Amino acid sequence: QSALTQPPSASGSPGQSVTISCTGTSSDVGAYDYVSWFQHHPGKAPKLIIYELFRRSSGVPDRFSASKSGNTASLTVSGLQIEDEADYFCCSYAGNNNFVFGTGTKVTVL
C-alpha cells in the first residue's frame, strides 16, 4: 500500500497553532479509527503522542490534539513552543494486521 501523504513542512511562531494533515484512503485512515501520531527529534527515538485517533499519551500536553474527517487525519499543535520543533509522522492501521505510515512533516518554530 502507499504511504499516507503529509505536507513536507509546516511552521508557526511561538504561541501560534499549526495543523498537519495525514491523507490516506478508504482502506486505511478512512476505514479505521486507529491513527497515531509521533514526534521525532532527529537522532532520538520517535515518541508516540496520539493514539487511537485522538487519545494523548501519558504526559503529552493538551496543546496536542487530533481528529479525522473522511480519509484525512489531522494533528494540531496549539500554543507552539520551541521544543515542538521536530518531525511529525502519522500511522494508520490498514487492515489484515498491516500498518502504513505517513511521509512525515517537519515543523519549524519561527
Partner 1 sequence: QVQLQESGPRLVKPSETLSLTCAVSGVSITTYYWSWIRQTPGKGLEWIGYIHYNGNSNYNPSLKSRVTISVDTSKNQFSLNLNAVTAADTAVYYCARYNWNDVGVGDFDYWGPGTLGTVSS
- Three cell numbers, residue 49: 503522542
Site string for partner 1, 57-86 (x = CB under 8 A): x-----------------------------
Pairing status of strand 47-51 against strand 55-56: antiparallel
Q: Which is nearer to partner 1, 64 or 89 (CB)?
A: 89
- What does DSSP assign to residue 83? G
Q: Which stretch binds partner 1 (CB under 8 A): 7-15, 48-56, 59-67, 72-80?
A: 48-56
Residue with cell 518531525: 87
Q: Which is nearer to partner 1, 59 or 110 (CB)?
A: 59
Q: Which stretch binds partner 1 (CB under 8 A): 20-28, 30-38, 64-72, 74-82?
A: 30-38
d(CA 38, CA 59): 14
Burial class, 65, CB count within 10 angstroms (exposed 0-12 / middle 13-18 / buried 19+): middle
The residues binding partner 1 (CB under 8 A) are 3, 32, 34, 36, 38, 43-48, 51-52, 57, 89, 91, 93, 97-104
